[in-house]
Amino acid sequence: MLTVHHLGKSQSERIVWLCEELGIPYDLKLYQRQPNFQAPAEYKALHPMGLAPVITDNSVTGGDLVLAESGAVVDYILGRYGKGALRPGPEDAAFADYLYWFHFANGSFQPAVMRVLIARRLEAPAEHPAVQIGVTRLGMMLAMLDTRLRDVPWLAGAAFTAADIMPVFTLTTMRHYAPYDLTPYPNILAWLQRVAARPAYQRAMQKGDPGMELLLG
């Protein structure tokens, strides 16, 4: 059985959502952050990185699998259980866009928001070049996302894919930690409403973070 170890208010919400979109059987284990926002010791013990997401899977031959890193976990679940759903293949016209937006999410976008969050926590002056670069890059990325979503309903094109699952955490739950304004980006906001209307997203958030305000606007 596949087990999703979900740390509250964390990037593992993607994995709960993915499993709900696929409609596959999985166990969900919930963990809460400590007062310092770190994962609890039992979560840290799951994997050497000790960061969410982590999945375990005892249905593989040759011993139990423990896997971390959002992109790897999403690819693993799609490859092993997805039966071709939620990701276009290399022959599909949407393939390159799918790859780009899937990897943009944690390769560029989430680190950009983290950079702004760290600068704020360190109370770095706004005119510090590192802060300015961070803020400028984040604005550039949001504008790029908004332009993309002006032209297509979903990031890979016409169809919802895992490339849509990857960046939503950074645009929603992450804003509990690093607030930023999405009102200048109407196409991102419209896409978040399409996300919010998905029953699988609603189920995932209800199961994983019941009671958490969903920052979809």
Ligand X SMILES: N[C@@H](CCC(=O)N[C@@H](CS)C(=O)NCC(=O)O)C(=O)O
Report the interface residues with ligand X, using CB under 6 A. 7, 10-11, 38-39, 50-53, 68-70, 106
For ligand X, give the closer residue by CB, 29 or 194: 29
Structure-token pair, residue 207: 């199961």
Only one residue has tokens 């276009």, namely 88
- Residue 52: CB minimum distance to ligand X, A: 4
Q: Closer to ligand X by CB, 50 or 153: give it.
A: 50
In sequence order, the β-bridge partners of residue 31 are 7
Give the nearer residue to ligand X in terms of CB position, either 35 or 210.
Answer: 35
Q: Which amino acid is at 34?
A: Q
| Neighbour-count burial for 164-186, b at 16+ CB within 10 Å, e otherwise | bbbbbbbbbbbbeebeeebeebe
Q: Exposed, middle or buried: residue 190 (CB in 10 Å: 0-12, 13-18, 19+)?
A: middle
When the beta carbons of 69 and 75 are compared against ligand X, the nearer one is 69
**Closest separation between CB of residue 161 and ligand X, Å?**
18
User: Which residue carries 């803020």 as its tokens?
Assistant: 135
Q: Which is nearer to ligand X, 4 or 94 (CB)?
A: 4
Helices marked H in 63-209 — which ranges? 70-81, 95-104, 110-121, 129-151, 162-171, 186-196, 199-208
Query: Edge-to-edge strands of the sheet including 27-31?
Result: 27-31, 2-7, 54-57, 65-68
Which residue, 7 or 119, has its beta carbon nearer to ligand X? 7
CB of 195 to ligand X, least distance (A): 18
Q: What's the min distance (Å) between Cβ of 126 and ligand X?
A: 25
Least Cβ distance, residue 73 to ligand X (angstroms):
7
Tell me the residue number closest to ligand X, measured at CB: 70
Give 114's Cβ-side CA count (13 Å radius): 9
* Minimum distance, C-beta of residue 105 to ligand X, in the bound complex (Å): 9
For 95, other C-beta atoms within 10 Å of its C-beta total 15
